[in-house]
Structure 1
Amino acid sequence: MKLGIGIGWRPEIAEAVEALPGIDWVEAVAENLCADHLPASLVRLRERGVTVVPHGVSLGLGGADRPDPGRLAALAARAGLLGAPLVTEHIAFVRAGGARTATPALEAGHLLPVPRTWAALEVLCENVRVAQDSLPVPLALENIAALISWPDEELTEGQFLAELVDRTGVRLLIDVANLHTNHVNRGEDPATALDELPVEAIAYVHVAGGVEKDGVWHDTHAHPVTAPVLDVLAELRSRVAPPGVLLERDDDFPPAAGLAAELDAIRATLDADRGGVRRPAARTPKAGCPVDAAPGGHAPTAGTVEPEALRDRVAVAQASLLSALVAGTPVPGGFDHRRLAVQSRALAAKRADVVAKVAPELPEILGRGYREAFLAYARSRPMSAGYRRDALDFAEQLLIADRPEDEAARRRLTRWWQDRAAPRPPRRTTWPVRAARSVRVGR
C-alpha cells in the first residue's frame, strides 16, 4: 500500500494542511474525532482523494490488561467513518493499577515504555491479537520515545519489534524521531535498531521535531525537525523505500511556509538515496524463544508461566513505575532516580498543558496562577479518569479550598464547575469522601 508524503492533521492547522501542495495523505488522532461525523476539513480532504489514517493514543496495548472492548470499538468506528486502509497505535502502556494489583487505577496521560522482556512481549502479543481481531482493517504499531529505561531488559528495541512482527504479523509504524530520542536518552544506536527490525513490515514512517535540554532529548512535536532526525530517516531509506512518510506537529505550529519547508526537507532526504537502497543486515532469528528465556534468548528455565500470572507480574511492575511517576511513591529498584524525576516533571507539565486545552476557561479564570496551582494539585492527585475529569477535579479542589482568592474569579470558577458537574458548589467534606471512594473503587 503506497501512501506517499503526508502530514498530521490537527484542527489548528486544518486550513494550512488543505492548502499545502503535494500532500498525499493525512493522519488524525482517533480520540479527537467524533464517532458520528467528521470535521469539514477532513471531509473536503477525503473528497479530493486524500487518504486519512486514524492514529490511536489510548489503547495501551503494552499494558497488563487486555484491550478495552469499548476503546477498540471506538477505533474501529473511526476507521470505518474515514474509510481508512489501516489504523495505527503505539507499543506502550498508558495506565496501570486497578483490580489486578489491588491498587488505585492510575492514568499516565502519556505513552510509557514497555519493558523489553519476554514476559512483557508475551502479554503485548496477546493484546495485539485481540486488537487485530476487533479491527476492520490492518493494524500498525509505533515505537515510542522514552526518557527512562527498564532494568534487566532482555532484548534490544530492534529484536523486540522483530519478535512482535514474527508472532503477530502486525505492521510497523517507525518513528525516526523516536529512534533519535532513544539514541540521546538511552544510548541506543538507530542504525543497529534498523538492522535488527524487519523493515519489510513498515507501513509508514513518522518524522517529528524535538529539543535537547541538559543532555535529555525531549520529543516535543513542537519544534522543527532537526538534521540528526533526518539522518536517521536517510539510514532507514538506505534499507527500504518506505510506503509513506508523515510529518508530525502537535503544538507551536509554524506558518504554512514553515510546514512546507519541513516537508521539502523530508522529500529531499528521501530523494537523496533514491536508487541506492541496500539490503539490510541479516537478522538473527529470535522467534520461538519462551517467556521464561534468560537474557539473550538462551534456554528456558524450568516450567512455563500461566498467562494470567504473567499478566499479574507485568501489572505489578507497571503499577509500581507509574505510581512512582505520578503519585510520589518510592522508585522501584533498578531505575535511574534522576531520569524518573525528569519524566515525572514532564508528565505533570503535559497534564497541565492538556487540561488547559480541553478546558481553556481555567487558565483564563486563574490567569498567571493557573500553572502553579495545577502543578500543586497534580502532586497530590494522580489522574485516574482522563483529562476532562481531571479539569473538573482540579476546579473542585480549588473551590473546596476557597480559591482563587479573588471573589469575582471564584464566582466564575463556581459557575464553570456547576455547568459541567453539579448544581451546587462543592463543600469541604466533598473532597475526602470522593478521594476515599476512588481508592475503594481502585481496589
Structure 2
Amino acid sequence: MTSTCVLRTAAPRAIRLGTGIGWRPEIADAIERMPGIDWVEAVAENLCPGHLPESLVRLRERGVTVVPHGVSLGLGGAERPDAGRLAALAARAEDLGSPLVTEHIAFVRAGGRFTASPVLEAGHLLPVPRTRDALDVLCENVRIAQDALPVPLAVENIAALISWPDEEMTEGQFLYELVDRTGVRLLIDVANLHTNHVNRGEDPSRALDELPVEAIAYVHVAGGVERDGVWHDSHAHPVPQAVLDVLTDLASRVQPPGVLLERDEDFPSPKELEREVAAIGAAVDRARPASRRPAAAPVRVRRDERPERPEGPADTDASGSPGARQRVALAQTALLSALVAGTPVPEGFDRARLAVQGRALLAKRVGVVAKVAPELPVILGGSYRTEFLAYAHRRPMTAGYRHDALGFAAHLLRHRRPHDPRTRRELTQWWVDRAGARPPTGSPWNRAVRAFRVARALRSPETRV
C-alpha cells in the first residue's frame, strides 16, 4: 500500500486556527477561563511527551488545538539540524495531535567542527545574514526538518537588534525565496516586523509587499518597549498601536489563518489579557478585505512521486576551500563570540549596537537561570545577581539554561562561595539533588592541598589510634 502525503508547495492552504494565545504555566488557569480562545501555542522544549500539564490536557479535551513552538533547533545555523532535537519536536507534535509545528529562522549556537572552536550557546534567537550562502544552508536545514516531522513546519521571522553587513536581500526577498525553494509555511510575527523597523530601519509595509503572504500559517502579536532608541521585543508589555497597525496592514492583504497573542512575563490580570486579545481581533477586522489574495490549494502526491531535491550546500567546494556551511559557520561564530565571550567585534558590525545586544543576552541569561532554577535566588539571596554576573562574564554558555544553572552552582562550590556555611550547605544539597553526584570541591590543586592536610593529620601522634 503506497502512503500519501501533502507535497510542500509554495502557498499551501493553511489550517484555520482562529484566535489564540501563548500558553504559559503562569496564566494557565486564566487561559482555560478565557472566552473565544480557539487554540494555544506552547514552547515545545517545556513539554514532556506523555506527561503533559493538566491544563493542556483539559484544553485538548475541549477541542482546543495546541501547537508546539520550538526554540532550540537553530535552523539558520551552519550545522544540520540535530536528529535528537527533531525527534523530540516530532514526539511533541504527535503527543499533542497538532496540525503543525513551528520554529524560527535564526541561529542559536555556533562553533564546532566547521570552525575548530568550542560550541557556544546564545540562549537567544539571533538573525542569520540575508546572503545566498545563508539561504542555501537554511533551505537544506528546513528540508531536513520537514522530512523528519510528521506534520507541516512553519518558520518564524525574528526580531533583531543588530544588522549583518553586506546583506544581499531584504527580509521579504529572503523569505520569498525560502518559501519558493522549500514550500515551508511562514509564521509571521508582526511585532518583529515593527522591531526591525525601529532597530534596523526596515519598512514593515515593504516587507509585506515582498512576502508570499499566501504561505502564512498564522501570525504572532506581542508587546515590547523602547529604551534609548532601541526597541526590545520583551513579550512583557502591552501590544502597542504601531504593532496593531502592522497587523491590520497584513490582514488587508490576506486573511490570517490564525492570530495569537504572545506574553512571556509580567503577566497582567486575566481581564487585561482578554482586552489585548480583543484589540488584536479588532485590528484584523479593521482591514479592508477587498484586496486580500486568495490562498492556493494544497497538492496531494504520493511520497514516491516527490520531485528530486537539489543537493544541499557542500561543506567544502571542489578545490577543498570552505563551502557555504563553513563560511556561514565562521561568520556566525565570530559574531556570537564577540557577543558572549568578549572577542573582537567582526568587521562591518555596529560596535555600540553589539554592546547593547551583548548586555541583553547577559540580562536574559541571569533571568532565565533564575526561572529554571528558582531555588538559586532564594538560597543566595541578594548576592545571586552579582555572583551570577561574575560567573557569566568569564564563562560563555555551552549548553542549555539548566546546564548553566548547574555550572553556576558548581563554580560557587569549587571556589568555596558563598562564605556562609549554612548557605553553602543548602547550595551543596541543591546541586547534589539535581546532578546526582558528589559535590564539586574545588580545583585539583585545592583538592590536593586538602588531601595532604588530611594525610598529615592522620600521621600525627594525636590522631593515631
- Normalising to structure 2: TM-score of the pair? 0.86
RMSD: 2.1
Match of 1:79 among 72, 80, 93: 93
- The residue that corresponds to 1:12 in the other structure is 26
- The residue that corresponds to 1:375 in the other structure is 389
Q: Does 1:168 align with 2:152?
A: no
Q: Label 1:372 to 1:157 Cα distance change in 2 as closer, same or farther (>3 A).
A: same
8 Å Cα contact 1:237/1:277 also seen in 2:
no
* Larger-gyration structure (1/2): 2
Q: Label 1:204 to 1:308 Cα distance change in 2 as closer, same or farther (>3 A).
A: farther
Count residues with an aligned counterpart: 414
Match of 1:113 among 121, 124, 127: 127
- The residue that corresponds to 1:22 in the other structure is 36
- The residue that corresponds to 2:53 in the other structure is 39
d(CA) in 1 for partners of 2:188 and 2:148? 23
Deviation at 1:305, TM superposition (A): 9.3
Match of 1:215 among 229, 234, 247: 229
Q: After TM superposition, which residue ranges in structure 1, 4 or more long, deviate above 4 angstroms?
A: 303-308, 430-433
- The residue that corresponds to 1:336 in the other structure is 350
Identity percentage of aligned residues: 74
Structure 1 alignment gaps of length 5 or more: 281-290, 293-302, 434-443
8 Å Cα contact 1:129/1:168 also seen in 2:
yes
d(CA) in 2 for partners of 1:99 and 1:233? 41
d(CA) in 1 for partners of 2:437 and 2:199? 48
d(CA) in 2 for partners of 1:312 and 1:36? 38
- The residue that corresponds to 2:367 in the other structure is 353
1:14-59 per-residue CA deviation (whole Å, 9 max, x = no partner) reads: 0000100000100010000002221111111111111110000000
Amino acid at match of 1:349: A
Deviation at 1:64, TM superposition (A): 0.3
- The residue that corresponds to 1:249 in the other structure is 263
Q: What SS does structure 1 have at the residue aligned with 2:217?
A: strand
Amino acid at match of 1:270: V
- The residue that corresponds to 2:173 in the other structure is 159
d(CA) in 1 for partners of 2:34 and 2:322? 50
1:355-399 per-residue CA deviation (whole Å, 9 max, x = no partner) reads: 101111100011111112111111100111111110011011111
- Normalising to structure 1: TM-score of the pair? 0.90
Equivalent residues in 2 for 1:67-106, closer than 5 Å: 67-106=81-120
d(CA) in 2 for partners of 1:399 and 1:235? 55
Amino acid at match of 1:103: S
8 Å Cα contact 1:400/1:431 also seen in 2:
no
Equivalent residues in 2 for 1:97-246, closer than 5 Å: 97-246=111-260
Q: Label 1:232 to 1:304 Cα distance change in 2 as closer, same or farther (>3 A).
A: farther
Structure 2 alignment gaps of length 5 or more: 1-14, 295-311, 448-465
Amino acid at match of 2:128: V
d(CA) in 1 for partners of 2:142 and 2:340? 27
Deviation at 1:162, TM superposition (A): 0.2
Q: Label 1:43 to 1:274 Cα distance change in 2 as closer, same or farther (>3 A).
A: farther
- The residue that corresponds to 1:258 in the other structure is 272
8 Å Cα contact 1:397/1:431 also seen in 2:
no
Q: What SS does structure 1 have at the residue aligned with 2:79?
A: coil
Q: What SS does structure 2 have at the residue aligned with 1:140?
A: strand
8 Å Cα contact 2:213/2:254 also seen in 1:
yes
d(CA) in 1 for partners of 2:167 and 2:120? 24
d(CA) in 2 for partners of 1:373 and 1:237? 48
Q: Label 1:104 to 1:167 Cα distance change in 2 as closer, same or farther (>3 A).
A: same
Amino acid at match of 1:98: G
Q: Label 1:161 to 1:400 Cα distance change in 2 as closer, same or farther (>3 A).
A: same
Q: What SS does structure 1 have at the residue aligned with 2:323?
A: helix
Q: What SS does structure 2 have at the residue aligned with 1:84?
A: coil
1:153-208 per-residue CA deviation (whole Å, 9 max, x = no partner) reads: 00000000000000000000000000000000000000000000100000000000
Q: What SS does structure 1 have at the residue aligned with 2:176?
A: helix
